[in-house]
Amino acid sequence: MSAAADPSNSFQNISFLKSETPLHVNSLRVVGSGSTRASFLNSITSGIFGATTVQEVVENVQDAANKLRRHDIFSNIEVVLDTAKETTDAIDVVLKLEEKGRTVVKTNAEIADNEANVNGNFVLRNLFGGAETLGTSVEFGNRNKAAFKTYLSTPIQASPDAKLVAHVSGRFRDNTSIASYEEFNRNAGVAFKAISKYGFHELGYDATWRDTIAQSTASSIVKDQAGQSLKTAITHSFVRDRRDNATLPTRGHFISFHHELAGYATKSDTSYFKKEVAVQIHQRLLQPIVAENGKSVPPLVLSGGFRAGLIASLDKKEPHISDRFILGGPTSVRGFKLGGIGPRDGDDAAGGEAYWAAGLSAVAAVPGMTDKPIKAHAFVNAGNLIKWSTGTSYSQTKEALLLNPRISYGVGLIFHHPAARVEANFCFPVQFSGGDLEQAGFQAGFGINFL
């Protein structure tokens, strides 16, 4: 019996046995492993021999096949079970594997928040026979003018849920849509990545040599921080994504935390602790309707989002301008230009050390177009971004963040594509500060994560 990637059909010849019937695996043979190391396969399949009942045999074989599939180095996985000749309470297991090609070359477009990039990738998989991956990519876009990255990843103890990654990269980034400077970064680092039942974890260490290039029209705050600097940082991220769709969710929730400790016990030109959190929740309202294409479509979805962040300096220096938070824009607090909320120095967004932003939106199907990737929505957004320094009391921080929050509301259309979400909105900023750059009327934006 055999099945590609899903071996459940392979157990028909023992399905008549009760789940608690004694049974064990007499032998295991792997066919077609090719360049995959025997020690790697042994680490994944060794648990098969611990089975003592029919149910345990089924579960252990399925678990091993699933782990092999998730390593993404085999195009086909077949399981063959046969009764052992030596005894009646044992079976022989054969895993028939078909390896994927080791070389992958591809180009694709990537969308971020108001950013579009085209990249080319060259990947060598199963490099040393243990699901290692060596990859390199080049990228060009509207803000990342040029970038490259080379990385080597390897699973830890043959687990598809834990990887160690080393990387080097470089990037020339145009930040002139926010402030009058460009930045060239060169970076090297290592990261531990893991998946648990709670979500995705990443713990890393990075060293970044950056060259901040101020334009002639730059403000004094940009010019003061122009030049070369070194940043070393320990980072940790956690993401739990239970949404049914990343770009236009109709139900589920999303939680992310990001921590960064820069300059601690290592040479660095900046030292701070940074924390950022983002939460989303999405709930369908009313009973689904059936579109012309036969699909069930929720007529109304209520979505809420919240983001907040804080940077605490550890060396009594202000954080570098590219490390600070910015707020405002079509994927952030709508009705304001990109970086249009908070401290400014001339025409440049100076950024801030503490912020919060919240949004509530109602997304509805467009009558007569329920089968099209077009939705209508109404929204209200609010938020604030402030200067903050270490030692400021909680009550002072709370008062400053809640004083004069920026508020906007509006209506618009959402164009949903699997790669990104595009919004065309008509916005009404109703509360703003004298230095803000509000954008009343039409505002368009594209990206993945909208407030």
Q: What is the DSSP string of 77-144?
A: EEEEEEE-SS-TTEEEEEEEEEEPPSEEEEEEEEEETTEEEEEEEEEEESTTSSS-EEEEEEEEESSE
Residues 186-200 have pLDDT tens digits of 999 999 999 999 999
Give the pLDDT of residue 2. 39
Give the pLDDT of residue 86. 67
Give the pLDDT of residue 6. 52
Question: DSSP code of 336?
Answer: B
| Threshold 0.85, pTM exceeds | yes
State the residue for tokens 């360049």.
Answer: 35
The letter for the amino acid at 121 is N
Give the pLDDT of residue 51. 82
Give the pLDDT of residue 17. 57
Give the pLDDT of residue 13. 55
- pLDDT < 50 positions in the chain: 1-5, 8, 16
Give the pLDDT of residue 377. 96
Residues 159-183 have pLDDT tens digits of 999 999 999 999 999 999 899 999 9
* CB neighbour burial string for 158-175, b if at least 16 within 10 angstroms, e if fewer: bbbeebebebebebbbeb
Residues 6+ apart with CB under 8 A from 170: 147, 148, 149, 184, 185, 186, 187
Give the pLDDT of residue 3. 38
Q: How far is C-alpha 166 from the geometric centre of its chain's CA atoms?
A: 18
